Structure 1
Amino acid sequence: MGMKEKWLERAERIRLSDYVYDLPDERVAKYPLAERDQSKLLVYNQRQISHLQFTSLPGQLPAETLLVFNDTKVIPARAYFRKPTGATIELLLLHPEFPSRIINEAMLVKGGCVWACMIGNKKRWKAQDTLETQVLIDGERIRLVADYADYENNLVRLQWDSEHVFLDIVRALGEIPLPPYLHRKSEASDTLAYQTVYARQDGAVAAPTAGLHFTEPVLKALEQNTIHKTHLTLHVGAGTFQPIKVDTVTEHRMHSEQVVFTRQTIQDLLDHTGCIVPVGTTSMRSLESLYWFGVKLFRKETTVFMIEKLYPYALLEEELPSAEQALEAILSWMQAQGVEEIVGETEIFIFPGYRFQLCKGLVTNFHQPGSTLLLLIAALIGESWRDLYAEALEHGYRFLSYGDSSLLWAKEA
């Protein structure tokens, strides 16, 4: 049996039941703190745990660390239409299909577009029915019509009779889609609270919540401590909340998410002299996916930026280029193409056995039992995740999206 087959056998032995813990509902933070940076910060380094406040983060990072932030911005992606019969149809925008699948472009479309949606109360919205509503933008009343572009696949065509771009329509029509485990409707305060202070690129259905703790004073303190920062964009999809429903975790169907990197960000990664620490699991998944795209270019496999869920496990370590070689391969390709940014898709699945190629640590919140994100944490720090989560529960940490924070350093190889 070859090494690859042995790896697959080991991976198939990973059981979801080994990655669950008891999370009482009262420990889930239903609302954020009044002051973002007053959250607790648990620091984990080689089995040592410290309990601090988030404002201590700059002093916990070595000088010259490169922090990588996800600058995606949550859009009010949940919209409601009322039928003449009185039935309410709920649309949750997932990702654009036409005229562009690139989210940043899809936000600027005029007149009409097609999006894949989750549809609430679909049984009351027949294939041939048209839904209608009105939105008010700057005093102008705009008619918005929705019908099916593809009934079976939940593709919804939206059309409006004005020069406003789709982002304007969504902002006027929709509401912020909070995570389902908060068990509450979004409120006016969530419009700001469920958004990082550095959010720039509209298109996410969920916030990169590890970033919610950052404030301007914390960002300034990072700068004063010679901590560098750079940005990428991963538009977080609703799939991030998708539970694993199979005990053999390798059989879980991973959601695909869109990532965007500028040439400057890749150059920043290549030029850094300290360690790379992503803010949030979305940033970590993006960075590791970027490396594997570099591998594909380096090995001349393809120029398509699509990282399949188990691709990282298919190659032996001696077959892999260094992080530097992978990033240089990407920059060379971008230069040859004359492009300043790359847009890709990733469904990378990081679970125990994964070897991190770019990331040395992680700033993150506390995650749901039995989730893909908890598996990622276990891949980073090993079996100690159990002790860490038990201690966080014991010390009154608040969990999930609006909860407290942690700084985790990778286990020694």
Structure 2
Amino acid sequence: MQLSDFSFDLPDELIAQHPHQQRDGSRLMILDRGALSVSVGRFADLSQFFQAGDLLVVNDTRVIPARLLGHKESGGRIEVFLSRQVPLPGTVWQCLMRSSKTPRPGTRLFFDDNLRGVVLEGDQPPHRLIRFEFEGDFYQTLDRVGQVPLPPYIKRSPDEDDPERYQTVFGANPGAVAAPTAGLHFTRKTFDELQRIGVEIHALTLHVGLGTFLPVRVENVLEHRMHAEHFQVSHETAAAVNQARSEGRRIFALGTTTTRVLEYALDANGRLRAGEGASDLFIYPGFEFRMVDALITNFHLPQSTLLMLVSAFAGRDFVLNAYRQAVAEQFRFFSYGDCMLIL
């Protein structure tokens, strides 16, 4: 299985630089795996593809303002991008840094009067460990000081709409540095319509890390290693998912992040386990799905692990043909783009 097997031509102008004017106003491409058919509709009509008894699982992580601008003791400017929190005393994060000279361990960093940091020993370049110093709540401090961490393929600075639009309406647990983008389409009305027809909705948490943007750098796909991301599954969600599975009801995963947790956190009997951990599950064609029956997702980068997951779920040729149709019909791609439903 080669990296080039997951290539397709994507014009730059189809990479969405701004969200749709209405959160639920995107287009929807529907892939039916049984009929091998592709149709096009509107995301606002998503509920027509559900039925009473279906169970939808969402990822309720909340994106933090992970980009920090500050200066070193010497006065030199520095840009810090939070990657993931690490289990060390205090509030310590693995970070990427940009400055004229790489700060040495012990260097003090200043972001505002109530947020400072010190560079620690450890970790491998280009990552650095920073212990942050602040008063009060760390995430409230970030909300005031930090900037929205827009993906690298959005070629503009954040504007006044991004703090709200690069966030799901149901995000509750801060810790992600990238949005679970399939969820960006959902509104309160979407959930109301699903619940009205008898769809169960439950949440788990996976804090999306920078690894979601890292390119696959090996031609042999099987040599790629995923970055681990922290997840948590509640007892309520585990019980509901397991009951739906035992009763033969359909389980819909909202996004690739939700899918990876649902397929990773299983016991030997294929039942979802409550608890928390770190998932580095790499899903590519040949993977046997044991929990997810339907997937809601955005359109992904060529040669990305996300495209490989979707190809594993629906078949590489089927997916790539659908992507070519999406390009021909001028669908919008990536985080702020249009949506796909795979049944």
Q: Find the aligned partners of 2:73 and 2:227 in 1 and give their Cα distance.
A: 35
Q: Which amino acid aligns with 1:284?
A: T
The residue aligned with 2:329 is: 395
Q: Does 1:41 align with 2:28?
A: yes
Displacement of 1:133: 3.4
- CA offset digits 1:183-202 (Å, max 9, x no partner): 22222210000000111001
Instruction: Name the CA distance, whole Å, in 2 between partners of 1:220 and 1:97.
Output: 37
| Mean Cα deviation higher: 14-23 or 118-127 | 118-127
Looking at structure 1, the residues matched to 191 and 106 of structure 2 have their Cα atoms a distance apart, in angstroms, of: 52
The aligned runs of 1:1-400 (5 Å cut-off) are: 14-46=1-33, 47-83=36-72, 86-99=75-88, 112-121=90-99, 123-135=101-113, 142=114, 144-150=115-121, 153=124, 154-160=128-134, 162=135, 164-272=136-244, 273=247, 274-291=249-266, 294-295=267-268, 321=269, 323=270, 326-327=271-272, 330=273, 342-382=275-315, 383-400=317-334
* Aligned-partner residue type, residue 170 of structure 2: Y
Q: Give the drift of 1:396.
A: 1.5
The size of the alignment, in residue pairs, is 334
Separation in 2, partners of 1:391, 1:94: 35
Gaps of 5+ in 1: 1-13, 101-111, 136-141, 296-320, 331-340
After superposition, the C-alpha distances for 1:208-265 in whole angstroms (9 at most, x for unaligned) are 0000111111111111121111100000001111100111011112110011000000
Q: Is 2:168–2:183's contact at 8 Å kept on the other side of the alignment?
A: yes
- Tell me if 1:404 matches 2:338: yes
Aligned equivalent of 1:9: none
**Per-residue CA distance 1:271-311 (angstroms, 9 max, x = gap):** 224211100000000100112xx12xxxxxxxxxxxxxxxx
| 1:81 CA drift (Å) | 1.1
- The CA deviation at 1:119 is 1.2
**Greater shift in the superposed pair: 122-131 or 206-215:** 122-131
Q: Percent identity?
A: 37
The unaligned stretches of length 5 or more in structure 2 are: none
Supply the distance in 2 between the matched residues of 1:244 and 1:98 (Cα, whole angstroms): 27
Is the 2:58–2:204 contact (alpha carbons within 8 Å) kept by the matching residues of 1?
A: yes
1:230 aligned partner, one-letter code: H
How far residue 98 of structure 1 moved from its aligned partner, in angstroms, is 4.1
1:132 Cα deviation after fit = 2.0
User: Is the 1:39–1:213 contact (alpha carbons within 8 Å) kept by the matching residues of 2?
Assistant: yes
Give the 3-state SS of the residue equivalent to 2:24 in structure 1: helix
User: For 1:362, what is the secondary structure of its paired residue?
Assistant: strand
Q: Secondary structure at the match of 1:34?
A: coil
* 1:166 shift after superposition: 1.2
SS where residue 157 of structure 1 aligns? strand
Going from structure 1 to structure 2, the CA distance change for 1:15 and 1:169 (only over 3 Å counts) comes to same
Q: Which residue of 2 aligns with 1:317?
A: none
Code of the residue aligned with 1:276 in structure 2: it is I
- Following TM superposition, by how much is the alpha carbon of 1:72 offset from its aligned partner in structure 2, in angstroms? 0.3
In the alignment, the residues of structure 2 paired with residue 124 and residue 44 of structure 1 have an alpha-carbon distance, to the nearest angstrom, of: 48
For the 8 Å contact 1:261–1:342, the answer to whether it is kept is yes
Equivalent pair of 1:289/1:346 in contact (CA under 8 Å): yes
Contact 1:90 1:121 in 2 (8 A): yes
Deviation at 1:87?
Answer: 2.9
Deviation at 1:67, TM superposition (A): 0.7
Amino acid aligned to 1:352: P
Secondary structure (helix, strand or coil) at the match of 1:180 reads coil
Tell me the secondary structure at the aligned position of residue 181 of structure 1. coil
SS at match of 2:29: strand
Q: Which amino acid aligns with 2:6?
A: Y
Could you say which structure has the higher helix fraction? 1
Quote the Cα distance in structure 2 between the aligned partners of 1:169 and 1:133: 11
- Give the conservation status (yes or no) of the 8 Å contact 1:280–1:362: yes
Deviation at 1:176, TM superposition (A): 1.1
Shift of 1:151: 5.5
Distance 2:217 2:101 in 1: 25
Q: Give me the CA root mean square deviation.
A: 1.6
User: Which deviates further from its counterpart, 245-254 or 124-133?
Assistant: 124-133
Give how far 1:175 is off.
0.8
The 8 Å contact of residues 73 and 108 in structure 2, kept in 1 or not, is answered as no
TM-score w.r.t. length of structure 2: 0.93
Asked if structure 1 preserves the Cα contact closer than 8 Å seen for 2:30 and 2:40, the reply is yes
Q: What is the TM-score of this pair, normalised by structure 1? A: 0.78
TM superposition shift of 1:62: 3.0
1:89–1:124 CA contact under 8 A, matched in 2: no
| Maintained 8 Å contact 1:89/1:125 | no
Rounded Cα–Cα distance in structure 2 between residues aligned with 1:250 and 1:220: 42
Report the residue type matching 1:127 in the other structure. Answer: P
Q: Give CA-to-partner distance per residue, 1:62-118, whole Å, 9 cap, x none.
A: 331111100000000111112365532111111222447xxxxxxxxxxx5211111
- Tell me how far apart the structure 2 counterparts of residues 188 and 17 of structure 1 sit (CA, whole Å): 38
Q: Which residue of 2 aligns with 1:318?
A: none
